[in-house]
Each structure stands twice: as C-alpha cells, then as structure tokens.
Amino acid sequence: MFRAIATSLALFAATAVATAQSAPVSFDSATKVFRLDGGGSSYVFGVNARGELQQVYWGGRLGATDAFPAARPMPEWASFDSSYTNTPQEYAGWGSGLFMEPALKVTFPDGNRDLVLHYQNHTATAEGFDVVLQDISRPIVVTLHYAMDRESGILARSATIENRGTDPVMVEQAAAASWALPAGQYTLNYLTGRWAGEWTLNQEPVLAGARVIESRRGSTGHQANPWFALQAGEANEDHGEVWFGALAWSGAWRITVERDQLDAVRVTGGFNPFDFGYVLQPGKTLETPVFYGGYSAHGLGGASRLLHHFELAHVLPNPRSTAGANGAPLPRSPKPRPVIYNSWEATEFRVNEAGQMALAEKAAALGIDRFVMDDGWFGQRKDDHAGLGDWYVNQEKFPHGLKPLIDKVHALGMDFGLWVEPEMVNPDSDLYRAHPDWVLNFKGRPESEQRNQLVLNLARQDVHDYILGFLDKLLTENDIAFLKWDYNRNWSEPGWDQLPAAEQKRVYVEFTRNLYGILAELRHRHPKVEIESCSGGGGRVDLGILKYVDEVWPSDNTDPFDRLTQQSGFTYAYTPQVMMAWVTDSPHWMNKRATTLQYRLLSSMQGSLGIGSNIAAWSPDETAVAKRLIAAYKEVQTTIVQGDLYRLLSPLGGSEFSATETVKADKSQGVVFLFIHSTQEGHGFPTLKLKGLDANAEYALTAIEGKARAGTPGTASGAWWMNHGLEMDEGFRGDFQAAAFRLDRK
Ligand code: GLA
C-alpha cells in the first residue's frame, strides 16, 4: 500500500502549474521554487511550508513555461518515520528524527546535537544560486552553492558551513550535497579495485538499506572511486535514464546510496565521516568539496559522454586562461597530451646519465614528444628503501646534474619530464633524520611503514613550505615541462600532535587543501609545467585533483589485455584525454602474457599514448611498427581523446570481442578499435554497427591496422556505417588480435 501512496505523492510533487519560467536559472518568489536548466536536464528545488529546502524534480528538461507549486513535504509514515526523514531535503541537518544519512551533523559545546536547517535567503549567481540556511535557533549558517553548466546540464553543488556563534562547534559529518530520486527500480554503477586492478565496474540493484562507497585512506584510493551512476529500470549503455555524480575530493570521502522505507533513493556524499571531526571556531567557515551531478536520457554511454565533455571544458586546467590575447577564439579543451616515453619499466631505479640518454635517442626516433625520467634520480635512491624526501640530484648517477640529460632531450626535439613523490619520506633519508616529527603519527605509537615509507603531514605549514620550496626550486633551476607526481601508500596512524587533541582530525581536510594549494601555486609560478596525478597507478583520480593536473596514471598494470577492461571502466567516469596508457614489454610482468606490439599499441592508443618499453632492446622491425602507429595515432588523437566515446562491445566479463568508437564533436571523423580476446568455435568478429556519425554525410574508411572484409566500400554514408555496419576480414581471428580504422567525412 505505501508504494501507491509514495508514487502518488511523487507524482503530485512533480505536477506543473502554468506560470512562465523560461530563464535557464529562475526563482519563483510566489512559490519559493528554484529551477536550473542545462543541456537535457532540469533541477528543481523549493522551500516547503516548514522552511526546509526540498528537492522537487531532477530529470529530463522541462518545458520553458512549466512551473511547480510550492514544495510539499512527504507525510509522516505512521508514527515511526517522520515527515522530516521522509522528505528529500537538499541538505538535511541531523536532528528532528532524521534516520536518513544527514548532510550535516554537529555537536554544540553544551551537548546539543539537534540541527534543523531552514531557508533564510538566497542570491542569484552567474550560473545558479547561493542559498542560505540557518539552524532554527543556533547561529550555524550553511550556504549551499548551485552552479549549472548550460551545455551539459551538470550541476555543481557544495556547501559553506559557518559558525556565527561565540563558541566552537564540532562538525562531525559534512556532505557536499544530497541527491534524490523518486521511488523506483534502479541499478547502481560504481568503480572499485586495488593496486594493479583498478576500474572494475560494479552493477547491482539498489535494494533497501544503504550501500556505502568510500575511502578511509586519507586519499582517493584504488579501492573505490568517488563516482556513481544510477540507471532507471531497463536503461542500458545506449538508452534510458541515468543519473550520475562525481565527488571532487582527493582526501577520505564517502558516498552513501540509500533506498528508504518508501523506496525513494538518496545519494549523499562528501568528507568521509569516519574518524572525522572539524572544530569550527567562532567566525570560521568550512568549505565542502564539490559534488557534481548530471542526468542523461541516453544510457550510461550518454552519461559518460556528458562527463567527458564537462571535464574537458570545465574541470581540467585549460589553456583558455592564457590564450585569446590576440582576439582569437579561445579553445574549449586542453590540447591533446604529448606522446611520452617513460623509463620506469625499462630501468626501474637504475637510472643514470648514459642510460637515459641512450633511451632518449631511441625515443626521439619513434616520434615521441616528451621524455620522462621516473624514480631513482635523487637522494640515495637505489631501491625503494631510501631517498624519498631528499630531492637533490644523485651525484653518482648524474655527476653533472640533470642539465646534460635535459639538454640532450631538447636537442632531440622532445621536452623533459621528471618523477617526484613529494608527500612521502623514507626513514632512511636526511629529511626524516632532520624532521622525524614531520610524519603522520600518534606520539609514542608505531609508525607503520608501507613500501618502506611514511607519509609527511602535509597539513602542517612547515611541511607545506618544504614541499612547495623544493618543487619550485627544481622547476626554476631545470627546464622541466612535466612532473609525474606520485603517492605510493595510504595513511596509517593519522595523528597531528602539534595541535590540541580536539583539533587533530582537521588533518583530513587540511592535508588535501594544502596539496591543492601547492599544485595551484606551482602552476601559477610555472605556467608551462604540466602535471600527472599518479598514486601507485590509479589511486588518486577524481574531479578534485583533475582541476590541477593534466593527466592521470590509471594503473601500474600495463598488460594490454587487462587494460581493455580497466580503460573501459575508467571511461565511465573520466575522459580518455587524461587516461595515460603505455606500451610495455611482452611477455608482460604481471600476467606473463605474450602479445604482439601491434596489439599493445592499439590497446594504448585508446587513451593518451605513451611508450614504457625497454626500447633499447627493440628490433628495427619493432621500431618501424611503433613509429608507423605513433604517427597514425597523432593524426587522429584529438578525435580519440576528446570526441564522443561509444563503448560498442564491452570487454567486461571475459567477452570474446570488444570495440570502441570515438566521433569528433563536429562528426567529421570517427576512430574505431576492435579487439579479439580468443576466437572460439571459429566465430568471426560480429558486424560492427557504428554510432554517432552524420547519417547523410559520406565517410571514407581507412585501416590504421587490420583489414575490413573484401568488398567493404572505401566510402559510404554515415547511414551505411551505422545501419549496415563494418565487417571484418575472415582472417581476423586468433588470440589477442587488434584492428583499428578511421572514418573521414568527405
Ligand atoms: C609507482 C608508479 C609507477 C612508478 C613507481 C616508481 O608505482 O605508479 O609508475 O613511477 O611508483 O617507484
């Protein structure tokens, strides 16, 4: 019975009344309803009669003249679930009988823990609203920020919590936002993993209760990624309604997906409340991270395409800020990544001037744009037991400093990048011997090492200054175009004993804020330097760090077959532009799997290509194959990494075949990748119906690698490629086979 009641109430809430409301952002002062429109979606919330801010609608875009009556709270359910807990509040304080996940939970010095936030006022901003809420009797003020992207309909939400009282208040839980969906059947998608096994897509029905996706690790973590997507009913990759969100925070985080007693769904995300505690002093504010949310009527594929474009245009550092001085139109996207060479898998810690110079010569001959020297160049770094923290050039390995190598790399026509791991220290280092108190730890307790290293407490000002100082010096004294910024363990014993006991948990906020601050300052002081976020692979990938870095390292697992599933998972949340993918040696160290160089190249060409093989040992034939495919990649790279991605055949679940297609925004070009895992029972590759092309335009098909079926037209309409499809040559069979094609509009 209650299902029927809930459904009819939800329908009532969504019934429109006919008052004019056409601006993309509007507030109806009569009904106190806020509306934001962007792309194909509308987001509507309002102030209910009690004064709470309540979500009213989130979904497909409504008519310009559609409007809503005032927000109506959900009724009490018998005597057990209050209206307060049943009503989908925008930002619910824990109090008044709330059993759903609160957005904000505080303890006042007198022991009061009841917090009920009511609307006060709001201001319109360029892209949305700032809405001010305040507790019904105490001077805790929360400003909710809403900014709608007109193009994608992705809404950025966050909160500023302010203590306007005279006593400190302990914030125990602070979300960025809560999102709500009416009662219904949904499938939750989320990404999990571990070191060398990141980006597993999980799909499960949203059942009663809560599903928690989180990191307690002090950073984003490999174990789960702060992204979710909820599919309605039968929605799939291409069709149906999908609501999605991504939290922009690189510290400990939590997203809680709840299905309540009335089958409605709420998603609340922000700082992880586990071990959280932030003392908000009088007059001080706490800013939450941003929680982005969006809606697509075109399945999971549509959702990821919206996110990709949003990340390119609005999240990543963008050359727009430095371009356009001559009046030229400002580019909407960052430039495609240079094709890099990285020495890690070839040399590990055994780097030196002669060896790196020899690799650089080989790399230049392949058409590489950027040469990156990885771990091992500094301090007493012979292996992972020593040196982290001592950021001076190792004299034995580089007797003349880095300059001769950098000059050589430049003379070969490449720019130079360098590996650093700034937030870490080995106990066997000068830095630790000088400042043992700089690491995260509890006084008198063990300091647990992982990979023989400890985490510096970057929340401390002196540690912040040290890290900013050495990086600034490194970039000032050397012509370095790129930093690979690594972070190779998670927290343990996260103490900060210089602060009073009650204040120490601020470390969860200040550490990450200082990280962002250093990244921003380095970019400001060295505007040409680009940065990669790496954390033993994909341990620090989120929309928070992506504001400050140009690319990420998705996984230390470079096995080209494993990478197909990892890369597929990655692209649900993140654009291929940031997805670095190296070609490394075969058989691969991880799975002992042997693959051809062509297969490895094509697997990596689905993202931003790099080479990490021991190229010194390559035969002339291998060098020629790589040179040819790197050149072919560069011709279509912008389409691959910035176009509309269609996951045509998923590699998930050990499937026999997989394929992706990317189409340039103006539909002038498409690039298709096809992979065979292991041909079984003679199956040929299925006819591949392409997507996203202009049906009425003519496209020429060119093989980058592999052969289409004899008789395939060299040129055909978009309609032909999409409806008839691309057929492969009968010889395209076997284990770990790959092919790639481009389509160019005539
Ligand atoms: C991490 C990175 C690797 C490499 C090593 C160096 O594992 O993910 O790519 O840089 O550190 O120690």
Q: Match 């009556």 to its residue by tokens.
A: 69
Burial label, 121 (beta-carbon count in 10 A; 0-12, 13-18, 19+): exposed
Q: Answer whether 0.75 is exceeded by the pTM.
A: yes
Q: Taking each helix axis from N to C terminus, what angle separates 353-366 and 403-411, rounded to the nearest 10 degrees?
A: 20
Q: For 134-182, write each residue's pLDDT tens digit.
A: 999 999 999 999 999 999 999 999 999 999 999 999 999 999 999 999 9
DSSP state of 329: P
What is the spatial distance between Cα 76 and Cα 561, in angstroms, rounded to a whole number? 53
Q: Which of 500, 514, 542 is nearest to 250 (CA)?
A: 542
Q: Enumerate residues lining ligand 1, CB below 6 A.
A: 344, 374-375, 419, 486, 488, 534, 536-537, 553, 556
Q: Match 């310009």 to its residue by tokens.
A: 64
Q: Ligand 1 centre from 556 Cα, in Å?
A: 7
Residue nearest to atom 8 of ligand 1 (CA): 536
CA atoms within 13 A on the CB side of 62: 27
Which residues, in sequence order, are bridge partners of residue 735?
Answer: 678
Q: Please work out, in degrees rounded to the nearest 5, the angle formed at the alpha carbon of residue 388 by the alpha carbons of 387 and 394.
A: 45
Q: What is the mean pLDDT of residues 394-409?
A: 98
Q: Is the pLDDT of residue 558 over 50?
A: yes
Q: Do residues 669 and 742 touch, judged by C-beta distance below 8 A?
A: yes
Position 268 scores a pLDDT of 98
As a whole-number percent, the residues of the chain with pLDDT over 90 amount to 94
Which residues, in sequence order, are bridge partners of residue 717?
Answer: 698
Q: For 636-681, write each residue's pLDDT tens digit.
A: 999 999 999 999 999 998 899 999 999 999 999 999 999 999 999 9
Burial label, 78 (beta-carbon count in 10 A; 0-12, 13-18, 19+): exposed
Token pair for 241: 């309604």
Q: Is the pLDDT of residue 324 over 50?
A: no
Q: What is the mean pLDDT of residues 435-442?
A: 98
Position 318 scores a pLDDT of 79
Active-site residue set: 486, 556
Distance set, CA 613 to CA 52, 341, 622 (Å):
59, 8, 11
Alpha carbon 94 to chain centroid distance?
Answer: 29
Before 427, cis peptide (omega within 30)?
no
Q: Ligand 1 centre from 336 Cα, in Å?
A: 23
Q: Match 């056409």 to its residue by tokens.
A: 22
Q: How far apart are the first and last CA of the chain?
A: 60
Pocket test for ligand 1, best of 342, 343, 344 (most atoms within 8 A of CB): 344
Phi, psi dihedrals of residue 70, rounded to the nearest 5°: -55, 150
Position 654 scores a pLDDT of 83
Q: Which of 451, 432, 455 is nearest to 385 (CA)?
A: 451
Pocket test for ligand 1, best of 349, 351, 375 (most atoms within 8 A of CB): 375
Q: Ligand 1 centre from 89 Cα, in Å?
A: 44
Q: For 226-242, write each residue's pLDDT tens digit.
A: 999 999 999 999 999 99
Which residues, in sequence order, are bridge partners of residue 132?
Answer: 121, 143
DSSP state of 587: S
What is the spatial distance between Cα 155 and Cα 38, in angstroms, rounded to a whole number? 8
What is the spatial distance between Cα 209 and Cα 549, in angstroms, rounded to a whole number? 37
Element of type H or E holding 630: helix 620-642
Q: What is the mean pLDDT of residues 300-313?
A: 97
Point out the ligand 1 atom lying closest to the alpha carbon of residue 556.
Answer: 8
What is the spatial distance between Cα 440 and Cα 497, in angstroms, rounded to a whole number? 9
